[in-house]
Structure 1
Amino acid sequence: MTSGDATVETTVADYLSHIRVERGLAANTVAAYRRDLGRWVSFLAERGITDIAEVTPVEVDEFARTSSSQLAPASAARGVVAVRMLHAFAVEEQLITSNPAKDVAPPTPPQRLPKALGVDEVRRLLEAPDRDDVVGLRDAALLELLYGTGARVSEVCALDVDDATAAVGRDEPELRLFGKGGKERVVPLGSFACDAIDAYLVRARPALTKGRADPALLLNQYGRRLSRQSAWAVISRAATAAGLTGDISPHSLRHSFATHLLDGGADVRVVQELLGHASVATTQIYTLVTIEKLREVYLASHPRAL
């Protein structure tokens, strides 16, 4: 087939056959490309374009903008990628000389801001466990550690008793955490977290050991290391007891830790180190949360904001 008789529709059919037979893509993936490229064929047909060689970047850009207004961000982006790959295939098959979609970027999905709890909501969550109860003391230690350090739940569950006693016993308490890839970082430990850990170690952990010699700091009811799943359940129970609604997770406390630090004037690079982010770009999403809060206060408070 030459470019003179290569229609968009026949090129799409050839491309779908190529990814199904030669590349061996999954049936669901091929079906998704078929839907996306079917929209592309219809879009071009409405503009009187049927020859693959007639397509220009103008049509691709318009298709991207139209998709953004009609579809979910991920679906719109996937459609543009499908068009780009179709025309790359057409170049390889020598049906066209250049890819008109090469420089058209897929729509960027809106940045999802982390859900941070308010300071009062965090206080209610942390005060929810019954500190006269063995399990409640353990739950309080978990919650205070998560919010007091901004640690990932996996990092807190991996702590051993020796880690905690070394941290609490310092004049200026600090805790060693091991993040993704085993990367170590040291974070300060506040007085509330220290008190919760100390109370747990003295009054609760001996009762939870069940005679076992497990080095883990946080134990479950069987005397074994508390799992991430059990930690989620602890937070869910505390959130219910505190009257909090919505999806409250261990990451909610991590998000809140970062947001409250930035609200209090902390430098984003300090927060980056505390969270153990490899790049400051990952941490900067929390600055958007703070800006949103500032905007809310501005709109509610300034006499000429509206």
Structure 2
Amino acid sequence: MSGHEVILRGLTPLVQAEILFGLQQRCGRDVITHLYQLRVFTRSLRSHGVATIVDVDASTLPRHIRPLVQELQAAVSESTTGPDSEQHKDIWNMRVFGHGRKRLDFTVVAQPWLRSAAKHWVLEELPLRRGPNVVAVLRDHVNSVAALGNSLRLHRPDDGMDPAALGRADIVAFLNRLRHQESAGDLSAYQRRKTAQHAALVLRECRALGLARPGRPLAGLSQEFTFRRHDLPPVPKDDAPGRALPDSVLTALIAALDRLEAAGGRDIRVAVQLLIDTGRRPAEICNLPWDCLDQDRDGKYALIYTDFKNNRVGRRLPIGDATAELLIEHKQRVRDRFPDTPLAELALLPRATRNRAGTQPIHDDTLASAHRRWVDDLEALHRPDGSEFDKSAVFLYAYRHSFAQRHADAGTPVDVLRELMGHRSIAMTQGYYSVTATRTRKAVDALAAVQFNGRGEHVWSQARLLLESEHQRLCVGQVAVPFGICTEPSNVQAGGGSCPFRFRCLGCGHFRSDPSYLPELQDYLDTLLRDRERVRAATELDEWARDEAVPSEAEITRLRQLIRRVQHDLDALTEDERGQIEEAVRVVRRTRQTVHLGLPTTGPQTLDPHLETHR
């Protein structure tokens, strides 16, 4: 016998067919089979005279051939079973349900009635979900039900075997046990809440499926054995920036993408860059098909992806030209690597192993591991204030949080951002806006100490000492105008479009400005100076028309004085204070991007030539 042969003589025809079928399945998945392992297995089969390889106990075989034997057994089992027969087992082969080489173990649920209910629930959920993480999500729910069953086993004299004997006290005991596990450090606050949420969901939906009727798994279960709305601990309100990455950290990561490509390859780098640019979930990016880019008649690009979490196929996300160019370039690279694979089967980010045709996408766990190594090898990351940023907070999903926070800070309407992010609950989307509001409030209070009126005099310096109600009253009693805010009542009531003084802001006592408006103030001054020279040089104007059109020297002087006073006040600050003001200016200006800062329009009868010249 040569080193390239395996002798199947002496085995039953059925066993020979099973081995050949299993090898065929492995070859179809681009799995390498070492012949020396197969020889050891066939010798064991001949010595024991088994009728089918499914009956072989793999644990009795040498350790180095167990994976091969288990895969051959799985392939044979899958060919002889289906969903109808698999659902009666306690350990499901999820390939039978179309979810790959995974197992779902129900033996973790101690009580037979509760285990049966969990199976019914999973069977109902499977057709409704898609994506690579379906089994992991369902496993989390089954484990939460197992935690409920374990609580019943520990404190019930009958180990929770009789559903008719259960009541509200058993739910309370379960919740107290979770609280104890959290205090002991066995569970995080997040895990505690999710465990209770999942158990409550499965129990509630099992009732809705009619499993509490006579003859069904939950028959006799009391209505008192249920979770109430307020049983779960409330999510703590967090006004911090949450898990969104600071701009300085994100900038440093983008600058280091070349190092990621050198360490992990081009596919890994493109995947991370797409996560940053698009804010999609990791699984959504990893499973992008090759043909995932579309261009409309206006030349604008959109990313076509699947929202696995909400079971929405063919979602469209507008993307910028730079992201589109990245995709176009990478698509050509992938096509050059796999020229013979049909485009409909080709993955945008093909995995590196067991993938001769390029049809298998990279797994998000592989991406997460490569990303973690890259981040850990980088130099220290710093916040805008110079303090060091914790690298453990840089994970794949943080790019999604950062994407959402940037949109919230830029003033994207909450309903638009909800649709953009694919959130089921608008409350989840609103969390990003609460961060924006808190950050903006802090920035506004910082700028209040350096706020001026049109004469360059300090105003509202006591803003940080105001009660919350007073702060709110001031907010509703002012409106945005060019170069600042206006507190004149009639103009505020009209939304800034009905000034009784024809928008002479610089000479009005109701006008306020601060350092965040310096670019607009300087631009307005330049505009006035240009208009003055242009009008003076005009030869086609009568004298009275020239006098009306030329900007007044008083307005120019007042504007120069205001700019000098603001700049002088900033120069007098310490370095730390100036840094705080600069950060506040950055936050406020970003928020102000959605506020119309153009000059308010007035009717033709009150049109002022001074305003018309620099509108």
> TM-score, normalised on structure 2?
0.32
Matched with 1:221 is: 352
C-alpha spacing 1:236/1:298, structure 2 compared with 1 (3 Å): farther
Counterpart contact for 2:277–2:323, Cα < 8 Å? yes
Q: CA deviation at 1:256?
A: 0.4
Partner amino acid for 1:220? R
Distance (whole Å) between structure 1 residues aligned to residue 407 and residue 395 of structure 2 = 19
Q: Relative to structure 2, which stretch is displaced further, 15-24 or 120-129?
A: 15-24
Counterpart contact for 1:144–1:192, Cα < 8 Å? no
Matched with 2:401 is: 255
Q: Is 2:289 the partner of 1:153? A: no
Partner amino acid for 1:155? E
Partner amino acid for 1:33? A
Distance (whole Å) between structure 1 residues aligned to residue 291 and residue 172 of structure 2 = 52
Distance (whole Å) between structure 2 residues aligned to residue 290 and residue 226 of structure 1 = 35
Distance (whole Å) between structure 1 residues aligned to residue 232 and residue 288 of structure 2 = 43
C-alpha spacing 1:189/1:299, structure 2 compared with 1 (3 Å): same
Q: Is 2:422 the partner of 1:276? A: yes
- Alignment partner of 1:108 out of 220, 230, 234: 234
Q: CA deviation at 1:183?
A: 0.9
Partner amino acid for 1:266? T
Partner amino acid for 1:225? P
C-alpha spacing 1:119/1:170, structure 2 compared with 1 (3 Å): farther
Matched with 2:455 is: none
SS at match of 1:218: coil
- Alignment partner of 1:20 out of 132, 135, 160: 160
Deviations 1:94-144 (A, max 9, x none): xxxxxxxx9987652414574001223222222322287595432332123
Q: Is 2:252 the partner of 1:124? A: yes
Counterpart contact for 1:149–1:274, Cα < 8 Å? no
Partner amino acid for 1:218? L
Counterpart contact for 2:423–2:429, Cα < 8 Å? yes
Q: CA deviation at 1:172?
A: 0.3
SS at match of 1:138: helix
Matched with 1:8 is: none
- Alignment partner of 2:320 out of 183, 186, 190: 190
Counterpart contact for 2:303–2:317, Cα < 8 Å? yes
- The structure with the larger Rg is 2
Distance (whole Å) between structure 2 residues aligned to residue 153 and residue 106 of structure 1 = 29
- Alignment partner of 2:305 out of 171, 177, 180: 177
Partner amino acid for 1:119? D
Deviations 1:65-118 (A, max 9, x none): xxxxxxx7969xx8xxxxxxxxxxxxxxxxxxxxxxx99876524145740012
> Identity across aligned pairs (percent)?
24
Q: Is 2:169 the partner of 1:33? A: no
Q: Relative to structure 2, which stretch is displaced further, 227-236 or 290-299?
A: 290-299
C-alpha spacing 1:106/1:270, structure 2 compared with 1 (3 Å): closer
Partner amino acid for 2:252? R
- Alignment partner of 2:433 out of 277, 287, 301: 287
* Alpha-carbon RMSD: 4.2
Q: CA deviation at 1:267?
A: 0.9
> TM-score, normalised on structure 1?
0.60
C-alpha spacing 1:261/1:104, structure 2 compared with 1 (3 Å): closer
SS at match of 1:20: coil
Matched with 1:205 is: 334
Counterpart contact for 1:134–1:207, Cα < 8 Å? no
Aligned length: 230
Deviations 1:170-196 (A, max 9, x none): 810001221124213211011232232
Counterpart contact for 2:350–2:362, Cα < 8 Å? yes
Q: CA deviation at 1:159?
A: 0.8
Matched with 1:137 is: 266
Q: CA deviation at 1:271?
A: 0.9
Counterpart contact for 1:140–1:196, Cα < 8 Å? no
- Give structure 1 stretches of 5+ with no counterpart: 1-14, 40-71, 79-101
Q: CA deviation at 1:24?
A: 9.2
Q: CA deviation at 1:291?
A: 2.4
Matched with 1:97 is: none
- Alignment partner of 1:162 out of 288, 291, 312: 291
Counterpart contact for 1:125–1:242, Cα < 8 Å? no
C-alpha spacing 1:218/1:36, structure 2 compared with 1 (3 Å): closer
SS at match of 1:175: strand
Distance (whole Å) between structure 1 residues aligned to residue 161 and residue 286 of structure 2 = 47
C-alpha spacing 1:150/1:226, structure 2 compared with 1 (3 Å): same
Counterpart contact for 1:163–1:176, Cα < 8 Å? yes
Counterpart contact for 2:274–2:323, Cα < 8 Å? yes
Partner amino acid for 2:289? D
Distance (whole Å) between structure 1 residues aligned to residue 296 and residue 367 of structure 2 = 22
Partner amino acid for 1:129? L
Counterpart contact for 1:126–1:143, Cα < 8 Å? no
Deviations 1:133-158 (A, max 9, x none): 59543233212321222211111111
Q: CA deviation at 1:293?
A: 2.2
